[in-house]
């Protein structure tokens, strides 16, 4: 991971002479997925993004919602929204695939993926567009930008160096023994230092769906989200394909997207990942979260099988101690089972954990 204080080689400078391509001049299509009964959240997001003149359309995927949102959208006066309905919840990966395919049907366009509980700051899209319009023709279909999500990217927000913001390769569940000295030092002696300069762009290896911004031609290169992942880590796997195919993902601190609802897996809500897996979330959330993360780490993020095995053994040993101490052995067994399935590539919708 590289910290950029200037625009990278794949971006043009503001005073560059290269003209924008016709594709780069296309307007913005917002893609979001909603499920259950989340109209109060979705409504706030739509009210924030629809008035922006750069937004030409908003595609809302009804992913097995409790009731159709089309009447509520019409009653609220939203005019840029197109609704695509799935009668059942097919998962976030399949839902975003429906939305991205619908966006591509309109021709070349900038795509801005947002979760239904995202609330962009009023200047977020303008900041993304300023950076995106500096992309040269090569970067246009290879790279992406990511809005800054303080709730999910707390380490970046608190001043931690970029190399510590993402797990090292061959980690297990984000754990790597090489990180132990830093984590101990951070807990007992680290204090946030005032940043003398906020970097314009931060080169990251993957990013969440919510806030991801790219040109639709990128999909010709990397394909659609992996529907077999169903929930969780589908955005990690999808966005990392951008980097794996030779492109970049630039996190843009100037483009802030906040959360209307806190996530069960948020780092800011727990003291450790042990607590997150064993004491927070539902069994369904833990199952898909652990299974899919293990699948990504074992099959994509790995560099050394030996190091992965050491990290795996160490983490699971510590997790088991934590589970016994807090009487969460059954949750630990579920976690272990999910990890094994993920490592073996046994994905898809689980009969034990259907989506509603």
Whether the CB-CB separation of 10 and 248 falls below 8 Å is answered with yes
Report d(CA 72, CA 39) in Å as an integer.
8
**Selection from 23-37, 130-144, 232-246 with the highest mean pLDDT:** 232-246
pLDDT (tens digit per residue) in 73-123: 999 999 999 999 999 999 999 999 999 999 999 999 999 999 999 999 999
Tokens linked to 179:
């990180």
Q: What is the pTM of this model?
A: 0.90
Measured between alpha carbons, how far apart are the two ends of the chain, in Å?
38
Residues of the chain with CATH 3.90.550.10: 3-159+195-259
CATH superfamily of 3-159+195-259: Spore Coat Polysaccharide Biosynthesis Protein SpsA; Chain A (3.90.550.10)
Which DSSP helix (H) or strand (E) runs through 330?
helix 329-343
- Given a cut of 80, whether residue 264 has pLDDT beyond it is no
Taking residues 1-12, what's their average pLDDT? Answer: 44
Instruction: Find tokens 């101490």 and name the residue.
Output: 325
Distance CA 96, CA 111 (A): 12
CB of 266 closer than 8 Å to CB of 152: yes
Concatenated DSSP letters of 208-275? -STTEEEETTHHHHH-S--GGG-SSSHHHHHHHHHHHTT--EEEEEEEEEEESS--TT-GGG-S-HHH
When pLDDT is cut at 50, 70 and 90, the band that residue 151 belongs to is: confident
Strand stretches in 87-237, DSSP E:
110-113, 118-120, 144-148, 201-204, 212-215
Tokens of 228: 């077999």
Confidence category of residue 126, pLDDT binned at 50, 70, 90: very high
Q: SS3 of 80, please?
A: coil
pLDDT higher than 70, residue 253: yes
Q: What is the mean pLDDT of the chain?
A: 88
Q: Over 90: is that where the pLDDT of 59 sits?
A: yes
In a 3-state reduction of DSSP, which class is residue 33? strand
Element (H, E) at 60: strand 55-65
* SS3 at position 310: helix
Bridge partner residues of 32 (DSSP): 60
Long-range contacts of 329-338 (CB under 8 A, 24+ apart): 331/277, 331/278, 331/279, 331/283, 331/286, 332/278, 334/283, 334/286, 334/287, 334/290, 335/277, 335/278, 335/286, 335/290, 337/287, 338/286, 338/287, 338/288, 338/289, 338/290, 338/291, 338/294
């Amino acid at each position: 991971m590289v910290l950029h204080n200037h625009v990278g080689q794949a971006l043009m400078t503001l005073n560059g002479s290269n003209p924008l391509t016709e594709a780069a001049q296309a307007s913005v299509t917002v893609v979001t997925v909603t499920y259950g009964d989340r109209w109060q959240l979705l409504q706030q997001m739509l009210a924030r993004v629809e008035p922006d003149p750069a937004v030409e359309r908003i595609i809302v995927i009804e992913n097995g919602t409790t009731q159709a949102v089309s009447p509520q959208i019409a009653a609220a006066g939203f005019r840029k929204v197109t609704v695509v309905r799935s009668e059942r919840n097919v998962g976030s990966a399949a839902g975003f695939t429906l939305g991205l395919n619908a966006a591509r049907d309109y021709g070349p366009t900038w795509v801005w993926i947002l979760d239904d509980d995202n609330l962009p700051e009023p200047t977020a899209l303008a900041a993304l567009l300023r950076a995106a319009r500096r992309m040269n023709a090569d970067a246009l279909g290879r790279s992406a930008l990511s809005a800054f999500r303080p709730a999910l990217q707390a380490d970046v927000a608190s001043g931690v160096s970029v190399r510590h913001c993402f797990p090292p390769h061959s980690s297990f569940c984000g754990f790597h023994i090489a990180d132990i000295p830093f984590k101990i030092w951070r807990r007992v002696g680290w204090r946030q230092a005032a940043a003398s300069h906020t970097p314009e762009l931060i080169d990251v290896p993957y990013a969440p769906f919510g806030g991801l911004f790219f040109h639709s031609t990128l999909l010709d290169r990397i394909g659609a989200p992996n529907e077999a992942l169903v929930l969780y880590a589908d955005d990690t796997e999808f966005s990392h394909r951008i980097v794996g195919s030779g492109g970049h993902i630039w996190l843009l601190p100037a483009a802030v997207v906040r959360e209307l609802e806190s996530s069960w897996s948020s780092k800011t809500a727990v003291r450790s990942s042990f607590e997150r897996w064993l004491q927070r979330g539902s069994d369904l959330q833990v199952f898909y979260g652990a299974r899919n993360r293990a699948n990504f780490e074992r099959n994509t993020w790995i560099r050394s099988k030996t190091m992965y095995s050491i990290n795996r053994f160490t983490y699971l040993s510590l997790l088991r101690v934590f589970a016994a101490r807090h009487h969460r052995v059954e949750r630990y067994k579920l976690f272990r089972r999910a990890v094994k399935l993920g490592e073996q590539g046994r994905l898809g919708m689980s009969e034990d954990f259907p989506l509603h």
